[in-house]
Structure 1
């Protein structure tokens, strides 16, 4: 019998969406719903975050249901849950007879997926403890007390003293993933493959401004100040720029960065704006929503583009440009950060990525390999450093 515990989207009258967990009878699981609403509205997390966490919580409740465990006390068997999660498919209808699945069989979920589910379960159980829906002993079953000596230096911040923290007890070792950026040649090819000024602007906003797709989709026309002087708009920032901020949007675009910041624009991006605004006016006139990027070539005309449309556009452009690999929007963002580094950008300049701390920008910086080799060759030899060069 298939277990139907599942994640489910909830659309509120305000237009905001979050995800919850439904049981077999399509009733909301109360503690999960409270936790997910707290994340979405109390902690201002993105809709996609609640979707991911709802899916992880649904797996946990499904396992508890399948094994006859009560979810508040089942954390003591988290190791067994990890095995179940690693090897048990979501649907068992096609299994021939009774099949015991476990180590020795092919895993159905990778290490990263399992760790994501475990993170969601830890969040759920921690919240349940805080509202007295689960015993306090649960925290000791999912966390262990650790100190800061095993943290990398960049994660310690300015406080160099020893401090204690909670460390997750259950986690799989993930294989090292290659992080790559889009090359300048790939981005130019995709730019040339665009069929409209709007699509060219979307590529520029990712590759030369460094915005995430949710931030691009969430831009309003009122966020874009393209003149050298914007004081007439109540803004003292000089030069062309955009204001990037988190807000609730009808197209469910969401800025991952909590803080608002100002991102400067270069002349190429300003030209992209000008061409797009002319194109938009020719099709919509002064109409359309206040969102910057809207439907111009499909119904409903003038409606804001959703974040998913950015990824779909990049996929189409990669196919048109006949690239040898997929180049999603995030790789264009990494290209922006890497180009800033390759151009000699300092730490504060690399904060153009909108990160709250310089160390947060490190995963986005993939310097040019030739520049790294040049940097090594600039290091003087020991003889030169000691002044004992060859005579």
Structure 2
């Protein structure tokens, strides 16, 4: 069993699961197609889920289990995931000192895809209904944090994952201001500087950045001329089917304010783009200027390669990723006095808990916070 990329006649793509004879697994294929086109999930999501389902079906085949009822042995599947490589032809018995093949985060990702597949199979009558009780447990919404319970104080119920490994807490990393400046100095074109600023000063994800169209940039002080009610310079991010596989995670469109540095970088890039392409090129905002096919939209992978290349050129002593620039933006907003709801909106996140991993306070802000705490002596003087 393996994941397989499918290209539809319309140009849309999704990932499915095939066996060794390249025969499609029907139930998995229906689930993944519904995930991609019915629920409008990203192509990369179907790739991740197809890989997870393929691992589950491979385990079932090698252990002689029926995939539709093997959920009762999910604990054994987790052990297999932890210690067996994808290409292993035999079941591996783990002993003391054996290093795991997959860590907790990766295993939890596989379990998420398998749970969705089995729930779909139950709904499609391809698996018995009791399987749901093996992969989910009923939990009260009152167990959720207050921020996630909503305004309705009534008791509700939700399905909680029965199998989930405890992931070790890892400090979220961010790019420092010095590293961002070094990246900007390492840029050799206005386009590259704009890409860095859109991540470090606007907080865009790679998929949002690579999917921008020229009509999404409203950089005039008064956007009413363009038929837009948003005040000040800003960008609109819209979910679209893009040929460069760029994809916005948000289903609804959202706008992001931009400052004078980004507006200035836009102006320089527009001049550079016209110098190389004239009026040619696609409607995408960020396009290839220095390698063929000229004028075609940059891809999300190309943005990651650019950041990596700039970090090497700047002689930075560690590896940087585009997401570290986004984290830097969220942390800098908080360091400048931004509230949690402001950070949440500027990062384009709906869940009030989502921005918390992005916030890595500056050491000076932490010291200032301690300095604002009154001493016991001051309390004593007030009570006299």
Does the 8 A contact of 1:19 with 1:47 survive in 2? yes
State the shift of 1:103 in Å: 4.3
Aligned counterpart, 2:166 = 173
**Structure 1 position 317 matched with structure 2 position 321:** no
Counterpart of 2:249 in 1: which secondary structure? coil
Aligned counterpart, 1:378 = 372
- Between the aligned partners of 1:244 and 1:149, the Cα distance in structure 2 is 34
**Structure 1 position 44 matched with structure 2 position 40:** yes
State the shift of 1:319 in Å: 0.5
- Between the aligned partners of 1:150 and 1:113, the Cα distance in structure 2 is 26
Aligned counterpart, 1:364 = 358
- Between the aligned partners of 1:385 and 1:116, the Cα distance in structure 2 is 51
Does the 8 A contact of 2:84 with 2:91 survive in 1? no
- Between the aligned partners of 1:61 and 1:295, the Cα distance in structure 2 is 41
Deviations 1:324-355 (A, max 9, x none): 11111111001111111111112342211111
Aligned counterpart, 1:62 = 58
Does the 8 A contact of 1:225 with 1:240 survive in 2? yes
1:327 pairs with 316, 320, 326, which one? 320
State the shift of 1:155 in Å: 3.6
Moved more, 345-354 or 310-319: 345-354
Instruction: Tell me the TM-score normalized by structure 1.
Output: 0.93
Deviations 1:145-181 (A, max 9, x none): 2234543444434445543322222122211112011
CA distance 1:103–1:172, shift in 2 (3 Å): farther
- Between the aligned partners of 1:6 and 1:100, the Cα distance in structure 2 is 20
Give unmatched runs, 5+ long, in structure 1.
none
**Structure 1 position 22 matched with structure 2 position 18:** yes
- Between the aligned partners of 1:99 and 1:233, the Cα distance in structure 2 is 63
- Between the aligned partners of 1:318 and 1:160, the Cα distance in structure 2 is 49
State the shift of 1:322 in Å: 1.0
- Between the aligned partners of 2:362 and 2:99, the Cα distance in structure 1 is 38
Aligned counterpart, 2:76 = 80
State the shift of 1:232 in Å: 2.5
1:249 pairs with 234, 238, 242, which one? 242
Moved more, 160-169 or 299-308: 160-169
Give unmatched runs, 5+ long, in structure 2.
none
Moved more, 40-49 or 295-304: 40-49
State the shift of 1:261 in Å: 1.2
Number of aligned residues: 382
Does the 8 A contact of 1:16 with 1:252 survive in 2? no
Aligned counterpart, 1:89 = 85
- Between the aligned partners of 1:117 and 1:227, the Cα distance in structure 2 is 46
Counterpart of 1:360 in 2: which secondary structure? coil
Counterpart of 1:92 in 2: which secondary structure? coil
- Between the aligned partners of 1:12 and 1:207, the Cα distance in structure 2 is 36
- Between the aligned partners of 1:198 and 1:313, the Cα distance in structure 2 is 11
- Between the aligned partners of 1:181 and 1:293, the Cα distance in structure 2 is 24
* 1:80-119 superposed matches below 5 A: 80-92=76-88, 100-104=92-96, 105-119=98-112
CA distance 1:153–1:325, shift in 2 (3 Å): farther
CA distance 1:260–1:171, shift in 2 (3 Å): same
Aligned counterpart, 1:199 = 192
Instruction: Tell me the TM-score normalized by structure 2.
Output: 0.95
Aligned counterpart, 1:127 = 120
Aligned counterpart, 2:49 = 53
- Between the aligned partners of 2:171 and 2:150, the Cα distance in structure 1 is 26
Deviations 1:359-390 (A, max 9, x none): 3222222221211221122122344346447x
Moved more, 52-61 or 149-158: 149-158
- Between the aligned partners of 1:386 and 1:14, the Cα distance in structure 2 is 75
Aligned counterpart, 1:6 = 2
What RMSD in Å do the two structures reach over aligned CA positions?
1.7
